[in-house]
Structure 1
Amino acid sequence: MSFTKTTEQDSNYNHLEKMSVSELLQNINNEDKSVPTAVENALPQIEALVLQIVEKLKVGGRLFYMGAGTSGRLGILDASECPPTFGVPFDLVIGIIAGGDSAIRKAVEFAEDSTTQGWKDLQAYNINKNDVVIGIAASGTTPYVIAALEACNKNQIITGCITCNKNSPLSQTAQFPIEVVVGPEFVTGSSRMKAGTAQKLVLNMITTSTMIQLGHVKGNKMVDMQLSNNKLVDRGIRMIMAEINVTQEIASQLLTEHKNVRAAIKNYNHGN
């Protein structure tokens, strides 16, 4: 099957250095407009993977993201926001980046080229058949990610991927590939741009839809969110006021007592 890296093809624009700031911004924005359509085209693939994730998490499994560079950082970002948003344990969604946590801030040379480290990194978490591993790589050719998914496949662990090239080696390896083909970048090969945006959109979809399916949202509210700052406490109070029609004072008392919006609502309803 033929494989062409559209993410590496020449930009549709040239002589960028001669453009004004206004022209640069307009042209970048024009390119960005194509990303949601590319994501829309991949919705059936995203759905297939989310259904697998929901089933595994229901029986005690975990979701792992693996990537290098921008892709790895995006996975870690999405994973790190699940506990405060949905009140889930910090080790339910886990982001792993080639080169270790220091690579989050500073690139680690050649870390993405290892064909053995990815599986070792997963084994450190006692990876097992209840888990799901998603490899993230715009190029679809990152050895660290591909080799880790190959090892997962051999060990009966469900694998998915998010890539921005069609028919890539990563897509061929993952059991549930997601291909969001965004085309050439504004700056040739700079996959932190459209490809990164596409990956972020897909990651948002995966965890948000999964957490809703697992019951961590009520109506359209984050009733399991962690109350980690004053803004979120205020939001929690307003959610309680709207849900059970009580005053701000009572809502505040309930939240102080139960430390959780869902628990506050549930205990109030049971007591009245």
Structure 2
Amino acid sequence: MLDKLTTEAQNQHSMHLDQMPVKDILCLMNQEDEQVLTAIKNQLPQIEKAVQYTIASFKDQGRLIYVGAGTSGRLGVLDAVECVPTFGTSSEMVKGIIAGGMKALYEAAEGAEDNPKLGAADLKEIQLSEKDTVIGIAASGRTPYVIGALQYADSINANTVSISCNKDAVMSEYSSVGIELQTGPEVLTGSTRLKSGTAQKIVLNMISTTAMVGIGKVYQNFMVDLKPTNEKLVERSKRNIMEMTGVDYETATSYFEKSNHQVKVAIVMILLQCSCEVAENRLENANGFVRDALAQ
């Protein structure tokens, strides 16, 4: 099947890559990357459905689970890990699973991606439920490990989404929503860490970020549930409070401390001039949405 995949085809614009000057290679790669945004734009309706599935899972106390192998698996793990400090999620709410286990982040796990039973087994190990949304990621759209995971997820009625970079991908047949990002042949033949990987990363950003907006993790366009785990994030928290409420740095710092380092609580405290307890109660009644808490 590989000879029929666009992601494995030879790019006619880079036939003499090994003879091209550095500047020409860079210009060509830049030109080829322009196809990524068009490919994503063409799949926005499918991406929207994936976001809706994810929001529904979160509201039902379910999880978002990324499943992939190689580069695709690493991208899923990356997006999952970044949700924790950015949106204050638990490490369980968004999970990345890669064929071969976490060791495969650093070195190839030969053969792991070829076994569909391993994909199913890894989801069973985390006790996948019908409340969860599983997003299978594979540039080729045919990775057995990912297909096995999608088949198992479907068998227990979990939401299923696939992200591939080929038209009519096999994986699309095993998912409720098939996102097919047609980015074309790679500059370096078959190296799907290039355009394909870029397109996948952007789509994962879109899904996770928009879903977090949908459950109240954002106010205006600020992160209000970020975890201030280092000096940079502490200062960002204070600046965000200043921007959203109009107070000075000292006041923002004071309320940041009074709110136990909870940005959205500090915002409600300042704008409503209420106690931390009242702010927390309002946010709880508003399901975490700052605007709704202020409007009560």
What is the TM-score with the length of structure 1 in the denominator? 0.96
1:269 is displaced (CA, Å) by 3.2
Q: Quote the residue 1:267 is aligned against.
A: 269
Structure 2 counterparts to residues 126-205 of structure 1, below 5 A: 126-205=127-206
DSSP 3-state at the match of 2:222: coil
Kept in 2, the 8 Å contact 1:67–1:75? The answer is: yes
Query: C-alpha separation between the residues in 1 aligned to 2:201 and 2:24?
Result: 25
User: Shift of residue 170 of structure 1?
Assistant: 0.5
**Cα distance, 1:43 vs. partner?**
0.3
Greater mean alpha carbon deviation, residues 241-250 or residues 130-139 = 241-250
Aligned positions of 1:1-40 closer than 5 A: 4-12=4-12, 13-40=14-41
What residue is the counterpart of 1:71 in the other structure? 72
Matches within 5 A, 1:188-227: 188-227=189-228
Q: Once superposed, what is the RMSD of the aligned Cα atoms?
A: 1.2
**SS of the residue aligned with 1:161?**
strand
| Percent identity of paired positions between Structure 1 and Structure 2 | 46
Write the distance in 1 (CA, Å) between the matches of 2:205 and 2:50: 13
How far does the alpha carbon of each residue in 1:198-253 deviate from its partner, in whole angstroms, 9 at most, with x for none?
00010000001100011100000001111122222112111112222222111112
1:167 counterpart letter in structure 2: D
Question: In structure 2, what residue type is equivalent to 1:25?
Answer: L
Aligned mates of 2:46, 2:244 — CA distance in 1 = 36
SS in 2 for 1:90: coil
Any conservation in 2 of the 1:237–1:248 contact (CA below 8 Å)? yes
Structure 1 counterpart SS, 2:96: strand
Distance in 2 separating the partners of 1:153 and 1:91 = 20
Task: Please report the TM-score for the alignment, with normalisation by the length of structure 2.
Answer: 0.89
Tell me the CA shift for residue 96 of structure 1.
Answer: 0.1
Partner of 1:109: 110
Partner letter of residue 37 of structure 1?
T
Matched with 2:255 is: 254
Task: Write the distance in 2 (CA, Å) between the matches of 1:244 and 1:10.
Answer: 54
Hey, what's the Cα distance between the residues in 2 that align with 1:198 and 1:148? 22
CA distance in 2, matches of 1:49, 1:261: 28
Higher relative contact order (CA 8 A, sep 6+): 1
1: CA distance, partners of 2:228 / 2:202: 25
State which drifts further: 178-187 or 259-268. Answer: 259-268
Amino acid at match of 2:16: H
> 3-state DSSP class of the match of 1:133?
strand
> Which runs of structure 2 are paired with 1:77-96 in the superposition (5 Å)?
77-96=78-97
The 2-side partners of 1:245 and 1:43 are apart by 36
> Alignment length, in residue pairs?
270
Secondary structure of residue in 1 paired with 2:160: strand
Give 1:52's aligned residue.
53
CA distance in 2: counterparts of 1:88 and 1:110, whole angstroms: 33
- 2:242 corresponding residue in structure 1: 241
Q: Which amino acid in structure 2 is aligned with residue 170 of structure 1?
A: M
Deviations 1:184-206 (A, max 9, x none): 00001100000000000100000
Residue 4 of structure 1 deviates from its aligned partner by 3.6
Conserved in 2, the CA contact under 8 Å of 1:4 and 1:165? no
What SS does the aligned partner of 1:269 have? helix
Give, in angstroms, the shift of residue 268 of structure 1. Answer: 2.7
Give secondary structure in 2 for the equivalent of 1:182: coil
What secondary structure sits across from 1:135 in the alignment? Answer: strand
- Whole-Å separation in 2 of the counterparts to 1:151 and 1:91: 19
- Structure 2's unaligned 5+ residue stretches are 275-296
